[in-house]
């Protein structure tokens, strides 16, 4: 048996490492390349009912401790994306997670229905947490537990047998409470976290924000501690599998998220900081680690950092 295999909402990933949404996620061929590099599942760029060009550039800004991004949900639209997903599935056996978004609560349900009418991804991921479209959509739905739960319900009603993960943000009073509301509405998994903030960087010479959108979500090394804490809180509150995401570039980072309670580990910015080899490198580290510890799977490590986890998990 493959010791790195994990199960998320009934779907087997041959590795816990998942390509996070928005990175190399616009086409079947680029998703395939990441799958071949060792990802256990790949997530598409979030797509909505209509094609979007996204914000003008600069949309992505590396700095010393991470990255700001304000891509602005550029995507070809669900119908086109369904075609890319179908092509990916014809070319790879790695599970594909289709990420969807809506401008309104109702649009999430419509996007799910339109996508699933054409293709059957391994999971649906509901992005209620994009931090860089605030000027257009208002604050992310994920800031509001009730709205997140309603969206979860709308998508679940259209999803049939396809499991639904809800992608959450730290832009809320308690991410664990939002997760709990989504779980009650039928979510099958939680992905956490989306990029944080949003943040801003200003060029001192031209005296204006560098991102065309002015603000953008913070990702990369800077947010690893936030992601570890978010996964920790969610794991203590809901019994759902978690795709822990945020700041992972090194094997120890992935291990921290697993020890905090994640079943799978998303990697976005790490594709930049660690190169595409990041997947292969972390996979071999984890395999060696299990071997050295005499473990046959990652199960024993999941949430192992929680004191007396078995009792607390049901109370949190």
Ligand X SMILES: Cc1cc2nc3c(=O)[nH]c(=O)nc-3n(C[C@H](O)[C@H](O)[C@H](O)COP(=O)(O)O)c2cc1C
- Please state, in angstroms and rounded to a whole number, the distance separating the CA atoms of residues 307 and 176: 18
Contact region with another protein (CB under 8 A), list: 49-57, 126-134, 162-170, 190-198: 49-57
Minimum separation from the CB atom of position 75 to ligand X (A):
7
**Which residue's CB atom is positioned nearest to ligand X?**
22
Is residue 272 at the binding interface for another protein, with CB under 8 A as the rule? yes
DSSP 211-241: STTS-EEEESGGGHHHHHHHHHHHHHH--S-
130 is catalytic: yes
- Residues 51 to 110 in contact with ligand X, rule: CB under 6 A: 60, 67, 69, 71, 73, 99
Q: Any residues with CB less than 8 A from the CB of 51 and at least 6 apart, and which? A: 75, 76, 77, 80
Residue 223 interaction partner, one of ligand X, another protein, none, beta carbon < 5-8 Å per kind: ligand X
254: Cβ contacts below 8 Å, ≥ 6 apart:
16, 17, 248, 265, 267, 282, 286
CA pair distance 97, 102, nearest whole angstrom: 17
Cα dihedral 227→192→286→292 (10° resolution): 70
Among positions 172-211, residues that touch another protein (CB under 8 A) are: 201, 203, 205-206, 208, 210
Q: How far is the CB of 91 from another protein (least distance, A)?
A: 10
Span between the terminal Cα atoms of the chain, in Å: 34
The distance of closest approach from Cβ of residue 74 to another protein in the complex, given in angstroms and rounded to an integer, is 5
- Total of chain residues touching ligand X, rule CB under 6 A: 29
In the list another protein, ligand X, none, the entry touching 267 (Cβ below 5 to 8 angstroms by class) is: ligand X
Q: Which stretch binds another protein (CB under 8 A): 72-80, 240-248, 291-299, 303-311?
A: 72-80
102 binds, among ligand X, another protein, none (CB under 5 to 8 A by kind): none
Non-local CB neighbours of 95 within 8 Å, separated by 6+ positions: 11, 12, 13, 40, 41, 42, 121, 122, 123
Q: Which residues bind another protein (CB under 8 A)?
A: 22-34, 45, 51-54, 56-64, 67, 69, 71, 74-77, 80, 201, 203, 205-206, 208, 210, 212, 268-269, 271-272, 276
């Amino acid at each position: 048996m493959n010791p790195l295999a994990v199960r998320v909402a009934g779907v087997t990933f041959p590795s816990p490492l998942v390509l996070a949404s928005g990175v190399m996620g616009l086409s079947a061929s680029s998703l395939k390349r990441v799958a071949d590099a060792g990802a256990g599942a790949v997530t598409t760029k979030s797509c909505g009912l209509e094609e979007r060009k996204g914000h003008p550039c600069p949309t992505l800004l590396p700095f010393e401790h991470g990255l700001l991004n304000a891509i602005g949900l550029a995507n070809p639209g669900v119908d086109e994306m369904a075609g890319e997903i179908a092509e990916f599935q014809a070319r790879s056996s790695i599970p594909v997670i289709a990420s969807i978004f809506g401008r309104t609560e109702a649009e999430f349900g419509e996007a799910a229905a339109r996508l699933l009418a054409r293709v059957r991804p391994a999971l649906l991921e509901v992005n209620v947490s994009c931090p860089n479209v605030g000027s257009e959509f208002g604050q992310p739905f994920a800031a509001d537990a009730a709205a997140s739960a309603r969206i979860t319900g709308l998508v679940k009603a259209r999803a049939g047998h396809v499991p639904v993960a809800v992608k959450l943000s730290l832009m809320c009073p308690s991410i664990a409470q939002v997760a709990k509301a989504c779980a009650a509405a039928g979510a099958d998994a939680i992905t956490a976290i989306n990029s944080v903030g949003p943040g801003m960087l200003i060029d001192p010479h031209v005296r204006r924000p560098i991102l065309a959108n002015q603000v953008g979500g913070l990702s990369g090394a800077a947010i690893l501690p936030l992601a570890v804490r978010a996964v920790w809180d969610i794991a203590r509150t809901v019994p759902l599998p978690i795709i822990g995401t945020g700041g992972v570039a090194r094997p120890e980072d992935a291990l921290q998220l697993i020890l905090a309670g994640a079943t799978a580990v998303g990697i976005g910015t790490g594709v930049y900081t660690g190169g595409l080899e990041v997947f292969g490198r972390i996979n071999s580290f984890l395999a060696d680690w299990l071997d050295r510890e005499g473990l046959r799977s990652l199960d024993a490590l999941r949430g192992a950092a929680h004191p007396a986890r078995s009792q607390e998990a049901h109370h949190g």
